[in-house]
Chain A
């Protein structure tokens, strides 16, 4: 049942990638921009997605994989719903960025580069996001947070938990409304 859901998810993604490819010239120089566009839209590059790109550009799938794995930007597994990036650039390292990363890892029970089994969170390390004066820095869902502290991490997760509960309550409320309306 769950596998089926995943399958159709992948199916939908591939179809949308197929639809988007013709926007790009059939030219090898478009390889990286195409991969970037796919990741921007779908958060990661699946094997099948890369095969589509290879077919489209008429190059071998191993070429595509070779280029994609060379660059740190590309991800090959779906990330969590909330993406956490901990900066380990020089300034952040000196300010104890590794301790921040460890705290996230411990809290979520995963290592850097992994996603929690429920696909809620993923943790990555990055090298300098350009706010060194605010070190240590973490980027949570595209929001840069400066002067990171373990206590801020606690607050962050509390906020996420709260959000989730509110969403649940809202959904439940909507269902109730729908039932009341019928």
Chain B
């Protein structure tokens, strides 16, 4: 029988894909790419899309609307890229497009050819007419390896991925040998992006050499860090790249079964991945005898059920087996005996999604990015008090300062930077002294934080470090699986102490106690959850000790955040007589009229929500927050009998 090699088969598939694409896109029809990942949808992308469709219909215009994944610019959502060839303009990226602007754009740009430049972020490609987004620091300082095509392609279209050379690395590998893949990945120096940074090549080699008839590859997409969403975005924006990475891994280690373990809270990612699996199987890129080779691979999705500890690989395996997700003693490591006792590779979404690029462009190219010990790029979700929040992919070795201030635009509202929390519940809070730290596995660990999964929360002067530590302990305490006494009881005890400090009931010896208890938990816990749970406490205690001391000794929260230690009052000199703005906004009716017809707050009733601060018009700015709480003057409510007089 006539047999084509995998690369030729793929070339045929890609050619058909390009043909179909050419048919779909006509030069005279504008294309609208609307970002419709979870983040875009939350910002109103669905309403924006509906408005476009309705306006086009009303004007009798033809346009192609494509729902794309994420560009990473969450701060500018909903984002729309319009390519209107007839206008002579290059593809333009529009930001914060609500339904009103959408209708306006149809009329002005699509109908009249006026691109309404005030809503343009930039052109998508360099040109002579107007600045391109690629010139902005946000774009030019990024280097996209994993997210290269995110936001540019339709995640539901296998054709889009194929047309860009997708599955090319797999086809090449199938024509060579598993050993070639293992060598390239090892040579690239790729380290796991799931947190610990274990060398991927070494993990794969161990699994490949493990004697067994059947092996398993698991993609860890549990993404439990409560402030990180890179993995979700990659799955929603370019699912085939992940599948290709998984197929390469399976081929290299000799597995015929693979599982994507996705967090339950990510329904859109689940649907996107499932559809990609189905499409790839139909095209012969997954399933039996892939691209005509002898290699077969079946990928399925397993939905996690909302337990942070299940991100830990042994707990994750327990949960797929239908048990409570409790971490197990290692060794044996999953690569020796994992799911159902078979050798199992567990890798993070980003790790696997990096592999196709490494094989396409070579290990040498990959090593040219990043640092000697941490080659490649790092992907962070940078959120919190930062101007341009979103997803960024930067070369390893970039400093925190460059990332926060140059790429992400610094701290908004002219506030001062206070801390950056990296690595989520396992990571730490770094102070301004560490802004010149290089972002790579080793430097961050040395500073007491951790690369972690890639969650980064920037905090300004209004954030209380004790409160942040308390927040993370509350989280880990809740999520401890309960197997180890130190983790179970110790985290609860830590939380108790932090609770009392933030309530102004801290004792002098508490700081010492936090420190010793933290060390005990670290040493007495089985899995990473317990081992790292004290990190947020230890780092904040080390870098922000004065804040702890203020809470304990003066019952004062320097950031004015801890509610038990603060109070709101209205400055009678500033309050405008007769302006009732604050009264209506108070959810507990704590604001009353004084004898002098000004407003005052009933300290007994006030729940310290801060609404009145926002409600008070800026020209009066009369609501004041103070700490310690006793600094707020007590004003008596006039007796009803005194009446209005």
Chain B nearest CB, measured from A146 CB (Å): 5
Interface string of A146-181 (1 = CB under 8 A from B): 100011000000000000000000000000000000
Decide if B307 is an interface residue (CB 8 Å cutoff).
yes
Interface string of B258-279 (1 = CB under 8 A from A): 0000001111000000000000
Chain B nearest CB, measured from A6 CB (Å): 27
Chain A residues contacting B325 (CB-CB under 8 Å) are: 70-71
Measured CA separation A140–B612 after assembly (Å): 25
Chain B residues contacting A36 (CB-CB under 8 Å) are: 264, 303, 305
Chain B residues contacting A99 (CB-CB under 8 Å) are: 609-610
Decide if A29 is an interface residue (CB 8 Å cutoff).
yes
Q: Do the beta carbons of B322 and A131 come within 8 Å of each other?
A: no
Decide if A49 is an interface residue (CB 8 Å cutoff).
no
Q: Do the beta carbons of B321 and A94 come within 8 Å of each other?
A: no
Measured CA separation A131–B36 after assembly (Å): 12
Q: Do the beta carbons of A70 and B307 come within 8 Å of each other?
A: yes
Q: Do the beta carbons of B227 and A28 come within 8 Å of each other?
A: no
Chain B residues contacting A70 (CB-CB under 8 Å) are: 307, 324-325, 481
Q: Do the beta carbons of A71 and B389 come within 8 Å of each other?
A: no
Q: Do the beta carbons of B226 and A29 come within 8 Å of each other?
A: no
Q: Do the beta carbons of A67 and B323 come within 8 Å of each other?
A: yes
Main secondary structure, interface of A, reads helix
Decide if A133 is an interface residue (CB 8 Å cutoff).
yes
B residues contacting the other copy or chain, number (CB 8 A): 59
Q: Do the beta carbons of B226 and A71 come within 8 Å of each other?
A: no
Decide if B228 is an interface residue (CB 8 Å cutoff).
yes
Decide if B216 is an interface residue (CB 8 Å cutoff).
no
Segment from A13-21, A76-84, A112-120, A121-129 that makes contact with B: A121-129
Given B264, B266, B303, B306, which contacts A130 in the complex, CB threshold below 8 Å? B266
- Given A32-B319, A90-B424, A146-B42, also A132-B229 (CB < 8 A): yes
Measured as residues with beta carbon below 8 angstroms from the partner, the interface class of chain A is: 35 or more
Q: Do the beta carbons of B305 and A102 come within 8 Å of each other?
A: no
Chain B residues contacting A74 (CB-CB under 8 Å) are: 305
Q: Do the beta carbons of A29 and B320 come within 8 Å of each other?
A: yes
Interface string of B212-223 (1 = CB under 8 A from A): 000000000001
Q: Do the beta carbons of A133 and B226 come within 8 Å of each other?
A: no
Q: Do the beta carbons of A96 and B610 come within 8 Å of each other?
A: yes
Chain B nearest CB, measured from A39 CB (Å): 9
Which residue of B has the minimal Cβ distance to A72?
B306
Decide if A50 is an interface residue (CB 8 Å cutoff).
no
Q: Do the beta carbons of A132 and B383 come within 8 Å of each other?
A: yes
Interface string of A12-47 (1 = CB under 8 A from B): 000000000000000011111101100000000000
Decide if B384 is an interface residue (CB 8 Å cutoff).
yes
Decide if B611 is an interface residue (CB 8 Å cutoff).
yes
Q: Do the beta carbons of A73 and B457 come within 8 Å of each other?
A: no
Q: Do the beta carbons of B319 and A90 come within 8 Å of each other?
A: no
Q: Do the beta carbons of A103 and B43 come within 8 Å of each other?
A: no
Measured CA separation A130–B303 after assembly (Å): 16
Given A88, A128, A142, which contacts B228 in the complex, CB threshold below 8 Å? A128
Chain B residues contacting A131 (CB-CB under 8 Å) are: 38-39, 42-43, 74, 229
Chain A nearest CB, measured from B173 CB (Å): 30
Counting chain A CB atoms within 10 Å of each CB, which of B75, B264, B390, B463 scores highest? B264
CB within 8 Å of A: which of B581-636? 585, 587-588, 607, 609-611
Given A30, A95, A96, A102, which contacts B607 in the complex, CB threshold below 8 Å? A102
15 extra A-B contacts, CB within 8 A, seeds A94-B468, A102-B609, A127-B475: A67-B324, A70-B325, A71-B306, A91-B384, A94-B463, A107-B587, A127-B308, A128-B265, A131-B39, A131-B42, A133-B381, A134-B39, A142-B267, A150-B587, A150-B609
* Residues of A near any B CB (own CB < 8 A): 28-33, 35-36, 66-67, 70-74, 88-91, 93-96, 99, 102-103, 106-107, 126-135, 137, 142, 144-146, 150-151
6 A-B pairs with least C-beta separation: A133-B74, A90-B227, A71-B305, A130-B229, A144-B42, A89-B226
* Residues of B near any A CB (own CB < 8 A): 38-39, 41-43, 74-75, 77, 223-229, 232-233, 264-267, 302-308, 319-325, 381, 383-385, 389-390, 421, 424, 455, 457, 459, 463, 468, 471-472, 475, 481, 585, 587-588, 607, 609-611
23 sampled A-B residue pairs with Cβ under 8 A: A33-B303, A67-B324, A70-B324, A72-B306, A74-B305, A90-B424, A90-B471, A90-B472, A93-B471, A99-B610, A106-B588, A127-B224, A128-B226, A128-B227, A130-B233, A131-B38, A131-B229, A133-B381, A133-B389, A134-B42, A135-B383, A150-B585, A150-B587
